Structure formats: C-alpha cells, structure tokens
Amino acid sequence: MPDMGAGTRIYQHSTAATSMTVTPQTPFSAVVRRLIIDKPSAVGNWTVKVAGQEVANFRIDTVGNQNLLSAASGSFPEQQDLFAWCENVLGDPMTYVIPTGASMVITCDGSITADIAVGYEEFPQGAANNGGWNSPGGKNWYGVVSGAIGSSGTTTGEIQLATQYGLSFIPSFLTGAILPAGWQVDILAAFLEGGGRNTYSGSADHQSVTQYLAWIRNGQRLFTRTAADGIPNIGTASATGSANTVYKTDYGPFPPFQLAEIDNTLPLNVPIAIRPGDINLVYLDVSGDMTGGADYSHFYQSFLCKIRETS
C-alpha cells in the first residue's frame, strides 16, 4: 500500500474565518470530499478556487433553509451537507481535485466570516489529476445553481427569477438567457424555498405567500397539464400585526435543502436537459398583497446540476 501521508482522511477547520487555504503535502495530490461553510456573519458568495481557477461558488445566507454546506446539527429532519446528500441519495459523490503543487482557496466577498471545514484525502503524485469533475483544467462541473426573484416586488403572479447564483463563468440558464453553443446542462434535483411575507405597510397587514415554481422550456410548460401552474411550493403565511418573513413550505414535493430528509427527498425522475439554443423561463408564483415591496430575494430556488463545457 502506498504511503498515504497523514492518513486516509485529513481535516482542516477554522471558526469565524474570512478564508481558508488547503495545500496537500508535497508530493501528494488530494481529493476533497467534504466542504462545510457554516454560521456566516452575513449573506455572501463563497468562491472555491484550485490552482487559481474557480471550481465552485456557493450563495450562503443567514436566513432561510438553503444553506447547502451546513454542519450537522442533530436536528430532525436530519440536516446534512450537500456532499453527504449527493453520496447517500444519488450515489454520486461530489469531489474537488487538488493536483500536486496546487492549493484550494476558499474566500467570500467583503469581510464576511464563517466556520469553515474541509475533509480531504491525499494520494501519491499523479493519482488525482486534472480533467475530471470540478477539477482545474477540466470542463465538467458538478454543483448547485440557485436563482431568486427581486427584492422589492409589488405585483403578484408568476415572477421570473432575476438573479442566478453559482459558478461565475457559466451561462445564466435560470434567468431566461439562451444557452449558447458549447454548453450543456442536466438538472438532477431541486430544492425549493417557499414562505410568506408581510410588509405591514401603512400600519396595515399586506401579506403574500409563494404558490408554485413554473418552468417553461422552449415555450413548453413543464411539471403541469394546466394552463398556469407548476411544482407546488405553497408557503406558510406570515404573521399578522407586523412586518415579518416566514421561510417555510406547507406543501411541496421538493423541500428546501435543510428540511430535506435523506429518505424522502428524491432527485428528478428524469433530469431536465438543457442544450444549446434552449430558452428556460423559471418563475416563482406569489399570491396575496405585496404592497410596500415584498422582498423575496432570499428565497432561493436551488438546483443540483451537471454542467459541461463542450467546446
């Protein structure tokens, strides 16, 4: 058996940190099998780079139930991180490769801090090479892309996702852009955040709530046979008497990530395939009263994807 350096699994962690750098001991390469970014001081985009190249980008918030990289909490339903979900539910582990002589650097925009932990394995030189999923020099990306509607909506109904979060260089396929030549996307699973808002504008209740997620690909509405409908994402109503936000879905087949149990949250039966020239319009339907500008920008609709650059 070859020398495995410090052992079969190595851990590095820091609390309230703004960044972390992971460097395998020379001459080893490494495969990262766990990444935790927990308890952020503010909402922000955390970028993961290997050998200076971006291999992952996560939107981590202080509210809601879509923190994909939370540490285990002992709560019920079982809270697990994205890496455990991919391995245990899909049977398709998510990993990152650090070639010999390279480092992984995890940073966030601004001066945001979080608890950061990385679990990885070291291998003899050449055992972890470039070119695979999530590796520098490769063209295959396996991770989560999220979208959200605007921060001050006043009109209810189907509201198009306005912002996409994920790898900075991939096309904006969640926000209505045509997928360009040289790219293909397969969406494997969905995690949808529902809930309600009360703007309490003018000393009066103005309550709104999410209803469903609509997905229209090349003019065809998916997940429904009715004229205007989609995946149920029926949010819990906000409280009366004050401005407040509730992040909770009363009914939805694809709950937000942190409320998804390992045995009842299934991937899409058939992945959504997006190919060059396809146009995807994704909407979050909101009903009720949005007087005062209801902020749903922290209600992330997240999708586990395999993205390939084919050119």
Over the stretch 67-97, which tens digit does the pLDDT of each residue have?
A: 999 877 665 555 678 998 998 888 999 999 9
Q: How far is CA 281 from CA 161, 212, 216, 285, in A?
A: 8, 14, 5, 13
Same structural domain for residues 161 and 286?
Answer: yes
Same structural domain for residues 229 and 246?
Answer: yes
- Residue in 212, 213, 218 with CA at minimum distance from that of residue 280: 218
Q: Is the pLDDT of residue 7 over 60?
A: no
pLDDT value of position 151: 85
Number of residues assigned to the chain = 311
Over the stretch 289-301, which tens digit does the pLDDT of each residue have?
A: 999 999 999 999 9
Q: Is the pLDDT of residue 221 over 60?
A: yes
Choose the weakest-confidence range: 58-62, 72-76, 164-168, 232-236: 72-76
Q: Tell me, yes or no, whether 5 lies in a domain.
A: no
Over the stretch 96-139, which tens digit does the pLDDT of each residue have?
A: 999 989 999 999 988 999 999 999 999 887 666 666 789 888 89
What's the domain count of the chain?
2
Which among 83, 109, 138 is the end of a domain? 138
Same structural domain for residues 81 and 145?
Answer: no
Q: Is the pLDDT of residue 1 over 80?
A: no
| φ, ψ for residue 309, nearest 5 deg | -95, 110
Q: Tell me, yes or no, whether 1 lies in a domain.
A: no
Percent of the residues in the chain that have a pLDDT greater than 90, as a whole number:
76
Where in the sequence is the domain holding 164, given as residue range(s)? Answer: 141-309
Q: What does the block give as tokens for 78?
A: 């079982």
In angstroms, rounded to a whole number, what is the distance separating the alpha carbons of residues 294 and 243? 10
In angstroms, rounded to a whole number, what is the distance separating the alpha carbons of residues 183 and 273? 11
Same structural domain for residues 122 and 174?
Answer: no
Same structural domain for residues 77 and 88?
Answer: yes
pLDDT value of position 2: 45
- Residue in 276, 286, 288 with CA at minimum distance from that of residue 148: 286
Over the stretch 33-62, which tens digit does the pLDDT of each residue have?
A: 999 999 999 999 999 999 999 999 999 999
Judged by DSSP in three states, 109 sits in: coil
Over the stretch 185-215, which tens digit does the pLDDT of each residue have?
A: 999 999 999 999 999 999 999 999 999 999 9
User: How many DSSP H helices and E strands does the chain contain?
Assistant: 1, 23
Which among 83, 118, 138 is the end of a domain? 138
